[in-house]
């Protein structure tokens, strides 16, 4: 473990990854318009929300570096995962709302390469190593990429996002039975859910999800209203709000991870 990469090794055939919960700014704080703006789009409290995963025997991997420095869930080549749709880059230049992140020039090619070497590559080397470690023991492993976002971000999607957003790149990154088990757990919650809607899974899900080789990857994008209060308009004075003491979606998340383990331990 480094000072910015936290790995907890479990023995169960489940890896839970947190690519966007970090708030550290990689020593380039002065480049940003403000530290708050550079941290605004973090997946706030996501590792804390899923802290119970360790009790299930899961391995967890968490980068503490902000997605504004480098987004470890983007294609490192720079190719858009959602062609024709608003999104952010490998090294984002704007917030989700389209506000500029930098005071002066946006990061250039050599700086992007430096950030990739120092943060992106080590994160994915660690993730790949944990998946291989567990696959060697179990034969079949689930990679659960844990995300969250504000319920309303007009630049990225219309209206209010469903509470649970399952992404499997249209069914290609995991077995259909795993997607169905997760959908059933979400449906029983009484909250809204969708599979492969606005969020179909980022680079991590698409890159590692190889069901024929024993790695089943799935992304879960949560609307933040399920575990924290969301002001109508966010500002440095009111955002982020605290993690709710008893998040209403917590039982469903436990059911979802339990379903992942049931699948991974079940018959091939």
Neighbours of 154 (CB within 10 A): 11
109 vs 31: CA distance, rounded Å? 16
SS3 content of the chain, % helix, strand, coil (to 5): 35, 20, 50
Give CA–CA dist 62/123, Å, rounded: 8
**Mind listing the pLDDT tens digit of every residue in the chain (268 residues)?**
579 999 999 999 999 999 999 999 999 999 999 999 999 999 999 999 999 999 999 999 999 999 999 999 999 988 888 888 878 899 999 999 999 999 988 999 999 999 999 999 999 999 999 999 999 999 999 999 999 999 999 999 999 999 999 999 999 999 999 999 999 999 999 999 999 999 999 999 999 999 999 999 999 999 999 999 999 999 999 999 999 999 999 999 999 999 999 999 998 6
Whether 22 contacts 70, CB under 8 Å: no
Q: Interhelix angle for 176-188 vs 250-265, to 10°?
A: 160
Residue among 150, 133, 154 nearest 234 (CA): 150
Residue pair 11/58 in contact (Cβ under 8 Å)? The answer is: no
CB count in 10 Å sphere of residue 122 = 16
Q: First and final CA of the chain: distance in angstroms?
A: 33
Q: Are 203 and 81 in contact (CB under 8 A)?
A: yes
Give the CB-side neighbour count of residue 134, counting CA atoms within 13 A: 28
Record the pTM.
Answer: 0.97
Residue 78 DSSP symbol = -
Rounded to whole angstroms, the Cα distance separating 10 from 142 reads 13
Pairing of strands 59-63, 14-18: parallel
């Amino acid at each position: 473990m480094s000072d910015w990469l936290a790995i907890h090794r479990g023995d169960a055939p489940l890896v839970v990854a947190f690519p966007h919960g970090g708030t550290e700014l990689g020593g380039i704080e002065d480049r940003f318009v403000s530290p708050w703006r550079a941290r605004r789009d973090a997946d706030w409290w996501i590792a804390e929300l899923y802290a119970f995963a360790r009790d299930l025997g899961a391995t967890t991997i968490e980068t503490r570096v902000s997605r504004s420095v480098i987004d470890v869930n983007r294609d490192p080549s720079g190719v858009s995962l959602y062609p024709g749709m608003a999104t952010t880059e490998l090294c984002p230049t704007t917030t989700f709302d389209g506000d500029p992140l930098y005071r002066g020039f946006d990061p250039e090619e050599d700086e992007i390469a430096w950030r990739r070497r120092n943060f992106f590559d080590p994160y994915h080397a660690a993730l790949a190593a944990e998946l291989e470690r567990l696959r060697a023991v179990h034969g079949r492993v689930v990679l659960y990429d844990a995300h969250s976002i504000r319920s309303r971000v007009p630049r990225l999607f219309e209206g209010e996002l469903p509470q649970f957003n399952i992404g499997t790149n249209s069914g290609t990154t995991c077995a259909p039975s795993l997607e169905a088990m997760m959908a059933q757990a979400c449906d029983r919650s009484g909250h809204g859910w969708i599979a492969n809607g606005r969020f179909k899974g980022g680079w991590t899900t698409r890159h590692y999800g190889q069901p024929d080789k024993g790695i089943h990857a799935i992304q879960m994008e949560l609307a933040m209203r399920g575990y924290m209060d969301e002001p109508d308009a966010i500002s440095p004075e009111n955002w982020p709000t605290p993690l709710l003491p008893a998040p209403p979606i917590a039982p469903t998340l436990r059911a979802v991870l339990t379903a992942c383990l049931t699948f991974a331990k079940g018959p091939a």
